[in-house]
Amino acid sequence: MKKLLLDTTYLLPLVGIAIEGANTKLVQELLSAQEFSILLSEISLFELAAKGAKIALNTTLTYQEVLRGIDTIRHEKRFKLIGWTSNPAILELSYKIRTVHSDFIDSLILATAICTADTFATYDKDLITKIMKEKKIITEIEKVNLNLRVWFNNLEKKSLQLKEMKK
C-alpha cells in the first residue's frame, strides 16, 4: 500500500476551518479510498491548534470544535501520526529545507514526507518551487527518497515525481 503524507491544509475542515477553493468531496473520496496509507506529521496537530486558536478569536469557530477535530484526527484509524523526532533524518533535512523556506513547520512536514512517504499532498506550491531551485537540497532529498511524488491542491491532477519537476 502506498504511503501518502497530507500537509496540514487537508486537515483544516476536520477542525471546522474551510479551505478556499477546495474540492472537499474529492479529498474525502481519497481519504476513504483504500489504496493509500494516510500519514500525518504530528507537528500538523500543533499547527491545527495554532490556526484554530487564531481563527476562533475572530469568528464563530469555537475552541471546542478545534479540540474535537484534533481529537478525531488522533483517534482516526486511517491516520498514522509520524513524530518529527521519530527519525533523526527528519530534523536534519528540515534544517536544510529551512535555509530556503521561512516556515520551519512546513520544512518539518516536507522532511517527514521525504523520510516516510511515497507521495506528499500539499497546497504549498511555493515551498516545492523554492526547493526545486536548490540543487544541494534536491541532492539531499534524493539520497533519502529518490522517488517521492508530490500531489498538489485538490488532488485532481496526477502526482508528479520530484525528478520530473526538475526538468
Q: At residue 21, does pLDDT exceed 80?
A: no
Return the SS3 of 113.
helix
User: Of residues 4 and 27, which shows the higher confidence score?
Assistant: 4
**Mean pLDDT for the chain overall:** 90
Q: Give domain 2-165's CATH number out of 3.40.50.150, 3.40.50.720, 1.25.60.10, 3.40.50.1010.
A: 3.40.50.1010
Q: At residue 130, does pLDDT exceed 80?
A: yes
Residues forming beta bridges with residue 160, ordered by sequence position: 150
Of the candidates 87, 91, 88, 69, the residue with the CA atom closest to the CA atom of residue 79: 69
**Which amino acid type is present at position 157?**
K
Q: How far apart are CA 146 and CA 128, in angstroms?
A: 15
- What would the mean pLDDT of 10-27 be, rounded to a whole number? 83
Q: Which three cell numbers stand for residue 49?
A: 491548534
User: Of residues 33 and 93, which shows the higher confidence score?
Assistant: 93
Whole-model pTM? 0.92
Question: From its phi and psi, is residue 87 left (phi > 0), alpha (psi between -120 and 50) or beta?
Answer: beta
pLDDT at position 6: 95
Q: At residue 167, does pLDDT exceed 70?
A: no
Q: How far apart are CA 119 and CA 55, in angstroms?
A: 29
pLDDT band of 4, cuts 50, 70, 90 = very high
pLDDT at position 166: 64
Biggest CA–CA distance in the chain, Å, is 47
pLDDT at position 159: 85
